[in-house]
Every structure is written in structure tokens, then in C-alpha cells.
Chain A
Amino acid sequence: MGIAISMTVNGAAVSAEIDPRTLLVDFLRVNLGLTGTHVGCDTAQCGACTIHLDGRAVKACNLLALQANGAKVTTIEGLAGNGDLHPMQAAFKECHGLQCGFCTPGMVMSAIDLVQRHPGADEATIRAQLEGNLCRCTGYHNIVKAVQQGAAAMSR
């Protein structure tokens, strides 16, 4: 009943034989041990599982691993290069855009995608674009600031 898949995850080629009903998020967390991608709701509402699939932000709890066959996947673990934080990660730290940290990986992945789609977004746009990511700790105030600061750093 196993089915073979292969994809590139954080720059490395991976392949495995999996139960066809395996969700992408479970494949990343269980098969690959990439536990930075979180599951907060199982219904594609909270956004904690957001990753990049071929450069686009997607919710990994709402995709089968099979649907990512042959794709290029980036998770939160793949953002920091050579030990340096990605500018968006650095902005979240600098602006105190995280508290418990559970929504944070998904929030950061969404924020990067947001900035790529809306460079120079204003506050209203940022808030509207973060609609798919729930945070219960920060009240979003410092997340919005972090996205603005991260966007500025990414454009440099």
C-alpha cells in the first residue's frame, strides 16, 4: 500500500515510500523530523503549518504529501543560511513579534510570501494578508511591525 514520492526539502533531495493518505505536514514532521512546522487546527484555518511549495506559501496540513511529489519545499528550518537569520526571522526577534513561538514558523513563512507578493505593503494590506494565520499571544501588533521591518530589510 506504500507509494513512492520524492521531493526537494530545504535544498536536499528526499524520497520515501509512504501511506498515500499521509499529509504533507506529517511527512515533514514524522518522516523527515522537521518539527518546526506545526499543526494547530487540522482544518487549514490557523496557518501554523505554513510552508513554501515551489516558492508559494501553502498550508501543509491541507495537502497530501503526494501533491508535493517532485516539488521544491522550504520549511522554517531552511530559512536561515550559514547560521544567519533570514531578514524576516531577524525582524520578528527585533520587534518581539513572537511569544509562545507556536504560530511563529507559519507566520514567518506567510510573511515572506506576503512581502514577495506585496512589496511595500501598508499596514492594512499586511493585516489583511495575515488573515490566514492565527496568533493568540501577540495581538498581532508586533507581528505587523516585524513584517514591515522584515520587508524593508528584504528589499535591501
Chain B
Amino acid sequence: MGANESGYIGQSLRRKEDRRFLTGAGQYTDDVTLPHQTHAYFVRSPHAHAKIRSIDTSKAAKAPGVVAIYTGGDLEGVGGLPCGWLITSVDGTPMKEPPHPVLAKGKVRHVGDQVALVVAETRNQAKDAAELVDVDYEVLPAVTNPVEALAPGAPQIHDEAPGNHCYTWALGDKGAVDAAFAKAAHVTKLDLVNNRLIPNAIEPRAALASHSASDDSYTLYVTSQNPHVERLLMAAFVLGLPEHKLRVIAPDVGGGFGSKIYLYAEETALVWASKRVGRPIKWVAERSESFLTDAHGRDHVTHAELALDKDGRFLAMRVNTTAAMGAYLSTFASCIPTILYATLLAGQYTTPAIHCEVKAAFTNTAPVDAYRGAGRPEATYVVERIVREAAVEMGIAQDEIRRRNFIRTFPYQTPVALMYDTGNYDQTLDGASELADVKGFTARKAEAAKRGKLRGLGYSSYIEACGLAPSNIAGALGARAGLFEAGQVRVNPTGSVTVFTGSHSHGQGHETTFAQIVATRLGIPVDNVDVVHGDTGRVAFGMGTYGSRSLAVGGTAIVKALDKIVGKGRKIAAHLLEAAESDIEFKDGKFTVAGTDRSKTFGEIALTAYVPHNYPLDKLEPGLDETAFYDPTNFTFPAGTHICEVEIDPDTGVVEVVRFSACDDFGNIVNPMIVEGQVHGGLTQGIGQALLEACVYDPESGQLLTGSYMDYAMPRADDVPSYQVSTRVTPCTVNPLGTKGCGEAGAIGSPPALINAVLDALAPVGVTHLDMPATPHRVWQAIQSAKAAA
């Protein structure tokens, strides 16, 4: 496909990265093998909460092939894993940050907590030896539910966090909210559980660490979404290594969804041990380890109230949420149910007053952190569930109550800190209604009823905030990291281009999308552009990929670098063409003296920069290689409406998603095919949460009951329909590309659309409430309870 007038922008180019993935030539961490590598296996706690009386490794040490065994006591001088966001409680005290040891010290706090590292010649030998490590545990009572964890008398997980309390945080004007409720014509109240999820990237986490004696440096291959952040945290905060002595490479990564953002104990232990062992060490998680130890998502318990006037206009919202942190604070755990949650509670609506209080609790479970959407799905679920309830209670149509409350004037300052720059919520609601053929729903419902089936339609008009920024404001809110991105454009002497980006691609297709931007701007074939990412040894710096930020923030950093390239090219062209720099125009790959036919091609300029014989050496450095860092001035605000249609068999409780329509506004779009793919994937994860997935711990023992694909219901091909998706565009005003981000929208908008559809279908049989996931068992029970109550 060639470039048209707007270059490659807006074209569904097939992906540059696909050939290697389709032929088995991808290089994932477990595909990398180093000479003389050893293999690691972790001894993990079988208990949710226990004291470690003693660890005897003597028998294991004598097992065949064992190279070394390490326990917490061996890690002298090694720090704990840090949390990257400080949340301050309403009483002004900082959140409780108990130690998060790389290997357990004295106590274990969740099933799967790592107790010892066994290194052996082969994976099987390491595993066999691990079984011989004798750990004497004194089992303690456990608590896995965040509300129960905060109740008086709950088992105490950390000495540093009395009552398992991490923080109590609030946002919004409580006085204004109370005043608005006092004069409300109608108040809708709702209790909600946002079910805990296990991310389940299909590639399990893995690491391969090695130490070079020649220059005392380390190399870590790891399944990471943000290798530079991983390096910074591990080197500076945990192992005390000089940052330049640690190279982190995240090669091809098989999905992340948030779970590979974090600094984990396993790779940290491997880097530490690699110098002591003197050989490379590889670890690959088994799927059961992924279930037990990958950071989980969601796990909120919420009470919400919405105040309305007599016409169904929202006056105020009050939200109280208890959020689980798990046994330890994962890298960004603390900011998810606060900064990325409460700030989204205005949704697409003009609600003038909102107050949200969040209590965070430690629990004897895997840590909870960002999972696709990260706080924003939880907020959207609260808003869109309660809006539906209010509409039902007041007898207002679902689309009508939304339209009565839509924000239509931009920029718009919400009462929960965000400033929406642009949007048009009517047009995405219109678009979704068309796709969903809402007009034909009554007939379809009647037809289904003839077959004894219940049909329902559910709406969700979501908003999200992507490209978390700017760094200084985030810093004032507790962020301990910057939120910029880096991009480097290296023009090679022959005019081909290598782009180095701090964004990481693990399915998002950056190698194609970013190349489209660069090729368009420089007027060169897209095949002449390669994108490099995921290697601290090659890429200048980067904050990585999370929060749908790659194009809006990482893409803009590349645009800024391109500006510098074109600016320098103009200077070189002015010299060659003996014209004033201000007279040089750059278009379609040519630098031209305005109003003349005198020009130099981009390739000629590149060659001149590297062979500077006729060159203004007194004024200009040779070479054509520019780096830019971009720190956005605001979030971006993708938004849209999702409409779900379900059909329920009342005899079995089985819910079938018969139609799912999504109309989204992601701002300008570079590659529509990739954007649609992101939406499809997000929708399926959201439908998975609403229909199938639930992480369940036994409340007594704290054992994970959903620890395999036999017990944890992942969406499979026959659980979901083909989707109907479309987009509308209001260009983002924050960045020069006008893009907003599309990676998480599907997972944010879809859960309430599905549950609202289920509740709509079940309304005739008297069901008024249901928590996710809407499994056949749960739906059938709800129907039976409603019948019994009638």
C-alpha cells in the first residue's frame, strides 16, 4: 500500500511485525537461551498466612543438579520492592507501606508468596529439589475480603499496618454533595461488587538474568511492558546497582494487560543471584504460578448514591469504596482505586458535585494493581450501573437520561479534578444506537419471548482518561515517577530510518503505527522505517506502555523528534540550495525553495548530513539523529457508548451475548485496523469480567480456588459474538497527533453494558440486582429468588 495525500495516516496497513509471529520467528523471553544457563524454580508458600519457623535446605542442596539455593536470610542488603505512588490519607498521614521482601522474611502473606529460590542445571532438577526444601510453618488465620480485612478482630497481616488499613483517601466537596442530596427529588442507591480478575496474558511471566564478570554488568531479559522503569526500580531501589550496569531487555512480550508493568520479586532475585552463581539463570512461570502471583485486578466493594432532580438531572453523587491491595503493595497499586478511579466518576455527565471516599485494605491474596483499564472500569461500572437504576426508578428511557445529563461544552472542568478537553457524547450514543439497531429491539424481544427467551438491552456511556500527565501535577498527587515519553529518530546515511521508542509493544502494533507516522512525515516508504523498543541498551529512555498512552504520549515524542529532524534538514537544504532557511519548504520528502523547482530529496539531505563535504560545519553539527522527550499538558479523554443485547434462557440461566455494538471516539486514528483490533480485545476482556471471570479465594483457608483454566473461566471463541464497532472523531487538543488512546476502552465500557442488558432482560421476572459475573448459576438463582419473593 502506498502513501496517499495524508501519507499513511488513516490507512489500515497490515502489520510489519506479523511475519515473524506467524512463522514462529518471534523472540519471547523463554525463546532466548544463553550459554551455560541454569534454571530457577521458586519454593512458594502453600499457606495464605503463616510464620516461618525454620527453613531447611540441606536435603535439597544435595539433590542432583542443584547449583544454589537462596532464602530471605541470604539477601543481605537487598531492599524491598517499592510502590511508585504515595497516597495520603484524609487525616494527612501517608499510606502504610509495609516491606515487600524479594524472598519471604519470617512470614508469608499469601498462597504463592516466594520463600526460596532453587537454581539447578535443568528446570526439572530445580523443581525436584524445591520439593525437598523443608519449611516449617506456623499457620495463622487469613483474611481475603477487603471489607472483612478492615473489620475489628481481623487477622493482622503486617505489623506496620494496624487493622490492615493502608489508607483512607477522599476526593470532592462533601459539603456540596450533602447539600445537593438534601434538596434532591429522587435518590438512587446501589451496592456493587467489582469482581477480582486475573490478567492471564497467554505468555507467562519469565526472566533470564546474567552477569558479566568482564565489566561487572548485568543483563536481564524479562516479560516487561516498561523495561526502563523496571531497571530504575530494581537498580536504584532494591539491589543498589549502578543503573548503567543493568541492561533490561523486554523482547517480544506475549500480552501484558497491566500485569507486566510491575517490578516482581522473581526477576529481582534472578539478577541478584546471577552474579553469585556466575552463570545465567532462567525462570519461566508455570500457569499456576501466574494465577497465584501475577498482580490481579479490580476487587472493589462499593456503595453509591445518586441524587436527581424531578426531571432526572443529576445533582450529586456519593461513593464509598473499599479496595483490596492484596498482601503487599505492587508497583502502582495505590493509585489505581484513587487517582485513576475517583477522578472518573463524573463520566460523561454534568453532575455538579461528587464525593468519593476510598479505603484500601491489605488482604492475604496476590497483590492487586492495574489491569486493562485500571480504576476506570471500576468507575464506569459505578456510574453506568447507577444511571441505569435511576432511569428505571424514574421511568426515563436509558438513552434519554444520558442525553439529559451529557456534557456539551468544552473544555469542561469536572468536580473530581479532571478537565475534559473535547468530546461529543451525543454522536457516539447516536452511532452506537444505529449499530445496535435499537429501533428493532422491541420486535426482537417479542420474537425471543415466543421462543421462551428473555431479551435485554444495556447501555454504557463511558469516559476514560489516558496518557496520565503532566508529571509535575502527578508528582503533587503522589507519583514517584515521571510520566513523559522519549522518542529518537535516527536517519541513516542512505535515508532509511530507525526509530527508538520508550513505548513497548506487546500486541499493540507499534512497529507499524509508529512507522506510519514517521514515513508520512518524512515522505518515505514505510518499509524504510524500523521501530526499536524494549531494550534499555538501545533506547534512550522510556516510561513504557500502560494506560493507553503509547500513541498519544510515545507517538508525540516521536513527532517532536521528527520536528527536530525536519528543522535540521531545512538548514542543510538551505545551505545546499543557497537559499534562506525560512524559504525552504518540506513536503512529500522534498526540501524545496518556495516558489521554485529547486529542491533536494530527503535522501540527499541525509547523505549530506553524514558526508558533510559541502556543509555549514561552522554552524551545524553533522549527522541526522534527534531525540525528544514529551510530557503532556493534560490527560486525553476517549469516550463512547457501548450497547449490549443479550438473550437469556430462564430455564438454565445461560446468558448469550447476541449483539454488541461500540461507537468510540479515540480522536484521530492512524491505523483503523489496529484500533478495531484493540476494541475487539478490550470488549472481550470486559465481557469476560461481566459474564465469566471471577477470582475466588476460599474465605477460610485463603487458598485460590480458581487457580487453573479449569476453574477460572477465560472467554473462549464461542463465548463471544462478532462485534459491531464504529468510530467518531473529535480530535484531541492536547497532542499534535490529535489522538486519545484506544487500548482499554473496550474493557472499560463493556461490563456495565452487559450487566445492564442482563438486568433489562430479567426485569420482567422481577430480578432487580446482580453482581458480576452473570454466570448461569447466578442468573438462575436470581430468577428463582425473584420468583420466590413474588
Contacts and interface: CB of A to CB of B under 8 A. Distances in A.
Contact of A46 (B22, B202, B722): B202
B96 to A, nearest CB: 33
Contact of A141 (B14, B28, B716, B723): B723
Contact of A136 (B677, B681, B746): B681
A23 B524 CA distance: 48
Contacts of A75: 24
B26 interface: yes
Interface stretch (B136-144, B231-239, B502-510, B644-652): B502-510
A87 B590 CA distance: 39
B294 interface: no
B19 to A, nearest CB: 7
Contacts of A127: 717-718
A102 to B, nearest CB: 3
B680 A100 contact: no
B24 A37 contact: yes
A56 to B, nearest CB: 19
Contact of B22 (A35, A108, A137, A142): A108
A137 B287 contact: no
A38 B507 contact: no
Contacts of B287: 40-43, 45-46
B257 to A, nearest CB: 7
B225 to A, nearest CB: 11
Contacts of B124: 19, 21
Contact of B718 (A41, A48, A94, A131): A131
Given A130-B716, A138-B681, A139-B723, A80 B23 contact: yes
Given A40-B202, A45-B708, A141 B254 contact: no
Contacts of B23: 36, 76-77, 79-80, 85, 89
Contacts of B709: 41, 43, 45-46, 134
A139 B202 contact: no
A130 B253 CA distance: 23
Contacts, number: 180
Contacts of B717: 126-128, 130-131, 133, 135, 140, 143-144
**Quick one: which of B200, B287, B673 has the most chain A CB within 10 A?**
B287
A21 B17 CA distance: 35
B24 A35 contact: yes
A50 B153 CA distance: 50
A19 B127 CA distance: 15
B22 A136 contact: no
A104 B25 CA distance: 11
Interface in A14-53: 19, 21, 29, 34-43, 45-46, 48
A100 B18 contact: no
B710 interface: yes
22 contacts: A37-B24, A48-B202, A76-B23, A85-B19, A93-B19, A98-B21, A99-B681, A100-B202, A101-B254, A101-B507, A102-B26, A102-B202, A102-B255, A105-B21, A105-B22, A130-B716, A131-B718, A135-B717, A137-B681, A139-B684, A143-B717, A144-B717
Which are the 6 A-B pairs with shortest beta-carbon distances? A36-B24, A102-B254, A101-B21, A139-B684, A100-B507, A99-B507
Given A35-B27, A102-B201, A140-B716, 15 more contacts: A35-B31, A36-B23, A42-B286, A42-B288, A46-B709, A75-B24, A85-B23, A89-B22, A92-B22, A93-B14, A98-B21, A100-B254, A102-B203, A124-B718, A134-B716
